[in-house]
Amino acid sequence: MAQYVDGYLLPLPKKSVDRYRKIAQKAARVWRKYGALEYRECVGVDLKHKGVVNFPRLARAKAGETVIFAWIVYKSKAHRDQVNAKVMKDPFMTSMDPKDMPFDVRKMAFGGFRVLVKG
């Protein structure tokens, strides 16, 4: 079976990076607890490139914001569905209030991807 990846892209105020990191560290533990193979959250540092649509523009980041690029790896889409069903019932997730997040959840981009090439 081909691995499956959930990917995320979101703008984040630079002043909120430390707060976001704490949430992401807890989230990583939750996803791994329920079977995710890999969990990564990355903060943008080299984002200004000419000739391409850069991540800040794609994420509609404003002045004073950076971009978070994140992904979670699963065995398959079915495995992702099983893991996420458990994650969404975890007390950490059920206690989260979208209005209290350090970023605007409405600006987060999300998608599921079948792995095409693994190097």
Could you state, in order of their start, the residue ranges of all structural domains in the chain? 4-114
Dihedrals φ, ψ of 56, to 5°?
A: -60, -40
Across the range 14-27, mean pLDDT stands at: 97
69-119 pLDDT tens trace: 999 999 999 999 999 999 999 999 999 988 889 999 899 999 999 999 988
**How many other CB atoms are found less than 10 A from the CB of residue 94?**
8
Segments in 48-94 forming alpha helices (H): 55-58, 77-87, 91-94
Locate 94 and state its tokens.
Answer: 């059920």
4-114 carries CATH number 3.40.50.1110? no
- Cβ–Cβ under 8 Å, residues 30 and 56: no
- What the block records as the tokens of 54 is 């850069």
pLDDT of residue 2: 83
The alpha carbon of residue 102 and the mean position of all alpha carbons in its chain are separated, in whole angstroms, by 13
pTM: predicted TM-score of the whole model, two decimal places: 0.92
CB 41 within 8 Å of CB 68: yes
Q: What is the pLDDT of residue 1?
A: 65
